[in-house]
Structure 1
């Protein structure tokens, strides 16, 4: 087929090449930090597999022997070019490619961001035909040829990075070659695929909704994230001897999503962020970090990084009272905390798990009223905060029996129950009114400036009420909840709302483009926490990542230091019984928070690096650094290592570092030697389970 036109873009170091054939097929041939070389152009029979979008409708064939793969979809493979728009907006360049098939109009959107080699992509479908159509799958981004550009096979040159995520074990990165994962070149196009999905209301239960593919021979790294707070899917497999990546929101096969489009109706797929860089995983994460900051709601919290005290972890554990809180308020203020958040339990006299929903203060816990406590917090120069779980209602909450079923998720005619709670449906205006009344009351009556918004259930695949499928109901609810959250921030722009779901079970950039702070984990062992912390900046920006520092009542000085090093490159969530620990250990906390306040302005723009590689549980040494313009900060942890010395290669810093010091703690019990010529830092730590934070001054 003759080529009709090229859609060629060179923007922010990204080369985007699409072709439109004489028969008006649209193919995405190239997405790379390098220009498309003539020798990389494939034969026509191969290029026809480079489809720019895949869409599967009910009742239509698929034209590939595909197994479970989303290739050869219909009408995806029949779409014909109509037009394209290439213009500028406030973010940067915006490309829209419009295609059509039998009255179904499909627009592939690509939003570029100035100076960042990452695009936000999504697919818009409008039904202009005379009848309804039913959708089973819609790609938000599709790219074939992710391993092209080298002389050897994709089996040799490709490595996939995936972040596994579980309760108390968040953000555990693993990388593998394709054969290690079971994908080999058995044929030009195999039936095997590498499929990654999560279904339900916990978007990061099992996996963070992102991935990275390194092409070692070409020296590039492709990185992506799915910006959705519900079900999602992505897959990698082969077609015509090339690897492809397809990224989407919910699907019918994986997530019970099926959507009927009536004439005149439109559907937008969930947005995804996709970037590619010259370099490896670390460089790709750096650019994705910059992109995450660009799409995030502007807010002072991510600029100031105030220190938060929360009285839950290794402290009150959801058993607050006036008597217990007052000494903690005094101690946290003396330590240098700027927010005090009263965690769970404030709304019930005793066992409360399956009765939550009224959100009224307990008079037993607070005999002088909750306002007495929040006023006292404010009198100590701190902003008061409260824990909420406003997307659920306990099965024994009196209100639950008084409202209709359409307040909640329903499947097969019954309310969905998980762990003693119902899931509220934010499509219902009465639910939104109820939630708004709770927020308004807490802010106006008690002066609440911080809310820890927790979410401790997974309501599963969705709801049948006013939906074409369970997954359709879930997707509608996901989007309605985001709209509600947007409205809250419009009313209260200074209100800080932490995103939490049993720790890190909902780490996604649908929510994190709105929330300024994210709970990283419920891990209660500070030693295990280090492996979570060290990998966290690949999943979210450091200044949004809240990390607990919870010294024990009767621990050691090294335990206090380790706790603080865990959080000092991110957001400090101080906890622990500060009013009861020894004076010398309290002084270490005060010193650490004081140092954090000196460096936090740098952290808000820092980019992560890993001198010892990505962390894993069981590693004997861990390290994480942040590059911050003319400074760099490096956290180093010695765990159960028999060796008291470690060498950290830092080749990019050689000949550039003018000074290096141990920033915390500021005492001379840790030896280090910086080899400026070789770019290598040698550190000797005093004991197992110890940690230190180093500061570099750069030329």
Structure 2
């Protein structure tokens, strides 16, 4: 059967782009198999089985017979009992009703429609392969085409098999990143067999019933685990994944007699108190996910993470990707710490401008009366505190920022209202998260529900005032509480309400930037507790941490490009007067390894320190355009939290850059493999690190004390 012959016209919309025929094969007497190639991946299905996602060039990524989409309902869970998110009753009955492959200038899309005759569920899945990447994005819409109400309790956004036999799992590794406040992006690898032990499945002639994996908690999508990871083999074949939601998610692993299964899910009933009721004719959109694959014959999971880097740039699109990349100063970290005043800010404004800063962001506290002290429970009005800015108000400081040649920025936490804020009584209860008929309160704060028009209108008025009346051009949007499971108000379950809010908040962000196209938006959330590509696809910068100890920041900064685009990694550099010259350079190298994000009492520094900051900013301006196309790599491996020698590499069109930190207080020597020679870019006058070509790579010798350098790999 051909593609044109087997899809109902109502299921596949008309497309202006040309359709590519689906390949159909039927060797000997085997069931008819249809194939639709999508970049490095391929969809395969038969009349008697659901569609599966495979990688034709890989020996272990993708396996026919593993259905791409699993759907669990309140009435029907699994077709065979287990604890894994695989072999759902509905998923096993899905059959392809229509398909189309569409070639576009920047991607190839395959649209496939499957249905289950018993439940009436219809799943429309779009698999998109961006041009120039070995990745795909998987998006699905689940529609109730039956006559009875269906309550969905979990949906696998993508399920894919790996390995061709149980023994294949023996040579595989599971890579993931633990994360928490002040200790984000802690990547590690473990043998897959530590999670899925060999239990002699062939002897029992059954698939396993257990599972393993990662689960998020509440609305901090990266608060416990970064929402991406990989499975790799010793020969270098790697399958990387990314889940794109600010609500609940799970990456689920299980094993069968033929190999392993990975399921990527948004919120679930068991883990996130999720359920969504579908009346006849209603539809629900599953959380989007991405998969990337590499078959390079070297042991380098970074190759697959680089494919996700290419994918993330495609996801953000040309409009956001073409943004200016300004150097930002923020007065918070190790500086004013949420207590700005006119007298404290004006000297910082002058010194920041002298150093070459282009955006000056006033952080938290600008809205609070200094007499209050702890303003945590009073936030939500978002109007300046006159007593904090006497003699001209906040506008005087903003005018000083603008007169110094910088764009003014402000901190805002849009989704919260303190219990002592007038806004908490002015806004209706329906505009807040609710559980069991009462507002949800977390650390003296209520959580706004952006599905409600009053919540959106409150923040629209706030942002419009700041942009149109005060001339704000940069917003640091923070998120410092985790409201738990979510809200039950106008939702089937709490996790359903949370997902609805996060999607409404993302849509609000898009609309704000449509109204104010010159506005730059930073995604901050107690550092990087909500760093996911539901939000990062529509914002400009991600604060990578709140870590105030400059010695602890390097593993965070060096690992951040595994899950965040280099041009979005806002790495803090906060020189202080009591730092030595080497320590000053150390914190500046951390900032230079992504988007340089400056803080510190610049007016209190020694002249040599101010000169070093100006040098770092000038270098960043030379390098920042290359960040747009840079691909990360890790010559010493993704760093462990306690590593003393740390190295992040960036492949750029102008050559490779290396950001190297030595955290050993004693003299140290280490080798950077794959590099024969390099020159020091920063600090430009550094002469105490010895670099030499060795048989195994670049040999680095450092003196006593911590230090850091920016190197450029020399060619030839």
CA distance in 1, matches of 2:70, 2:649: 40
Structure 2 residue 435 is the aligned partner of structure 1 residue 420: no
Structure 2 residue 199 is the aligned partner of structure 1 residue 176: no
Q: TM-score when scaled to structure 2?
A: 0.91
Match of 2:682 among 664, 675, 680: 664
Residue in structure 1 matched with residue 314 of structure 2 by the alignment = 294
Residue in structure 2 matched with residue 194 of structure 1 by the alignment = 212
Residue in structure 1 matched with residue 5 of structure 2 by the alignment = none
Residue in structure 2 matched with residue 64 of structure 1 by the alignment = 80
Q: Is the 8 A contact 2:62 2:160 kept in 1?
A: no
Structure 2 residue 384 is the aligned partner of structure 1 residue 361: yes
Q: Is the 8 A contact 1:520 1:546 kept in 2?
A: yes
Partner of 2:348: helix, strand, or coil? helix
Residue in structure 2 matched with residue 349 of structure 1 by the alignment = 369
Residue in structure 1 matched with residue 170 of structure 2 by the alignment = 156
Residue in structure 2 matched with residue 92 of structure 1 by the alignment = 107
Q: Is the 8 A contact 2:671 2:696 kept in 1?
A: no
Mapping of residues 239-318 of structure 1, within 5 Å = 239-279=256-296, 280-299=300-319, 303-318=323-338
Partner of 1:617: helix, strand, or coil? coil
Q: Is the 8 A contact 1:3 1:19 kept in 2?
A: no
Match of 1:77 among 81, 92, 117: 92
CA distance in 1, matches of 2:510, 2:697: 47
Partner of 1:494: helix, strand, or coil? coil
Change in Cα spacing, 1:668 to 1:504, as seen in structure 2 (3 Å) is: closer
CA distance in 2, matches of 1:61, 1:577: 58
Q: Is the 8 A contact 1:357 1:394 kept in 2?
A: yes
CA distance in 1, matches of 2:149, 2:186: 44
CA distance in 1, matches of 2:508, 2:320: 21
Residue in structure 1 matched with residue 554 of structure 2 by the alignment = 530
Mapping of residues 560-571 of structure 1, within 5 Å = 560-571=584-595
Residue in structure 1 matched with residue 524 of structure 2 by the alignment = 500
Deviation at 1:670, TM superposition (A): 2.8
Change in Cα spacing, 1:476 to 1:531, as seen in structure 2 (3 Å) is: same
Residue in structure 2 matched with residue 19 of structure 1 by the alignment = 45
Deviation at 1:325, TM superposition (A): 0.3
CA distance in 2, matches of 1:698, 1:289: 25
Partner of 2:617: helix, strand, or coil? helix
Partner of 1:176: helix, strand, or coil? strand
Change in Cα spacing, 1:443 to 1:276, as seen in structure 2 (3 Å) is: same
Change in Cα spacing, 1:8 to 1:206, as seen in structure 2 (3 Å) is: same
CA distance in 1, matches of 2:30, 2:323: 49
Mapping of residues 430-509 of structure 1, within 5 Å = 430-509=454-533
Q: Which moves more between the two structures, 564-573 or 435-444?
A: 564-573
Deviation at 1:185, TM superposition (A): 3.5
What is the CA RMSD across the aligned residues, in angstroms? Answer: 2.0
Partner deviation per Cα, 1:86-142 (whole Å, 9 max, x = no partner): 112354111122111133211222111111111000221111211211111111101
Residue in structure 1 matched with residue 629 of structure 2 by the alignment = 605
CA distance in 2, matches of 1:556, 1:340: 26
Mapping of residues 621-640 of structure 1, within 5 Å = 621-640=645-664
Q: Is the 8 A contact 1:531 1:616 kept in 2?
A: yes
Q: TM-score when scaled to structure 1?
A: 0.93
Deviation at 1:293, TM superposition (A): 0.5
Q: Is the 8 A contact 1:19 1:29 kept in 2?
A: no
CA distance in 2, matches of 1:74, 1:301: 42
Deviation at 1:30, TM superposition (A): 2.4
Deviation at 1:274, TM superposition (A): 0.7
Deviation at 1:165, TM superposition (A): 0.6
CA distance in 2, matches of 1:75, 1:645: 58
Structure 2 residue 21 is the aligned partner of structure 1 residue 7: no
Structure 2 residue 358 is the aligned partner of structure 1 residue 338: yes
Partner of 1:116: helix, strand, or coil? coil
Match of 1:232 among 237, 244, 249: 249
CA distance in 2, matches of 1:220, 1:179: 17
Deviation at 1:612, TM superposition (A): 1.0
Match of 1:129 among 139, 146, 156: 146
Change in Cα spacing, 1:668 to 1:348, as seen in structure 2 (3 Å) is: closer
Partner of 2:229: helix, strand, or coil? strand
CA distance in 1, matches of 2:196, 2:76: 30
Partner deviation per Cα, 1:227-283 (whole Å, 9 max, x = no partner): 111111110111233100100111111111101100110111010011111133110
Mapping of residues 381-400 of structure 1, within 5 Å = 381-400=405-424
Structure 2 residue 243 is the aligned partner of structure 1 residue 223: no
Q: Is the 8 A contact 1:118 1:276 kept in 2?
A: yes
Change in Cα spacing, 1:197 to 1:300, as seen in structure 2 (3 Å) is: closer
Q: For structure 1, which runs of at least 5 residues remain unmatched after alignment?
A: none
CA distance in 2, matches of 1:331, 1:249: 46
Deviation at 1:5, TM superposition (A): 3.7
Partner of 2:539: helix, strand, or coil? coil
Partner of 1:245: helix, strand, or coil? strand
CA distance in 2, matches of 1:679, 1:595: 30
CA distance in 2, matches of 1:236, 1:483: 32
CA distance in 2, matches of 1:231, 1:28: 25
CA distance in 1, matches of 2:418, 2:89: 44
Deviation at 1:479, TM superposition (A): 0.9
Change in Cα spacing, 1:686 to 1:99, as seen in structure 2 (3 Å) is: same
